[in-house]
Chain A
Amino acid sequence: MKTRKKILVACGTAIATSTVVARKIEEELEKRGIAVETTQCKASEVPSKAEGHDLIVATTFVSGAGDIPVIQTVSFLTGVGIEADIDRIISYIEGA
Chain B
Amino acid sequence: MNDQGLQFVDLVKKELVLDRLVATDRTDALSKMTDILVKRGYCKASFPDAILERERAHPSGLPMAGHKIAIPHADAEHVITSTILFARLEKPVEWCSMGSVDDRMDVRLVSMFALKDKRLIGDMLETLITVYQHDEILDALITAADSDGMYEILKQAVQTYEVRNS
Contacts and interface: CB of A to CB of B under 8 A. Distances in A.
Partners in one complex: yes
Nearest to B64: A78
Contacts of A90: none
Interface in A1-33: 11-13, 15-17, 19-20, 23-24
Interface of B: 54, 57-58, 60, 62-65, 71, 73-76, 97-99, 113, 115, 118, 121-122, 125-126, 129-130, 133, 163, 165
B99 A73 contact: yes
A16 B115 contact: yes
A20 B132 CA distance: 13
Given A15-B115, A16-B125, A23-B126, A77 B76 contact: no
Nearest to B115: A15
Contacts of B165: 23
B98 A80 contact: no
A61 B101 CA distance: 10
A38 interface: no
Contacts of A80: 63-65
Nearest to A26: B165
A58 B57 CA distance: 14
A79 B134 CA distance: 8
A17 B63 contact: no
A61 B129 CA distance: 21
Given A12-B57, A13-B75, A16-B113, A24 B98 contact: no
Contacts of A16: 71, 73, 113, 115, 118, 125
Interface string A59-96: 11100000000001110011110000000000000000
Given A12-B54, A15-B73, A19-B122, A79 B133 contact: yes
B126 A20 contact: yes
B62 A78 contact: yes
Given A13-B74, A15-B118, A16-B113, A79 B64 contact: yes
B63 A78 contact: yes
Nearest to B63: A78
A18 B54 CA distance: 15
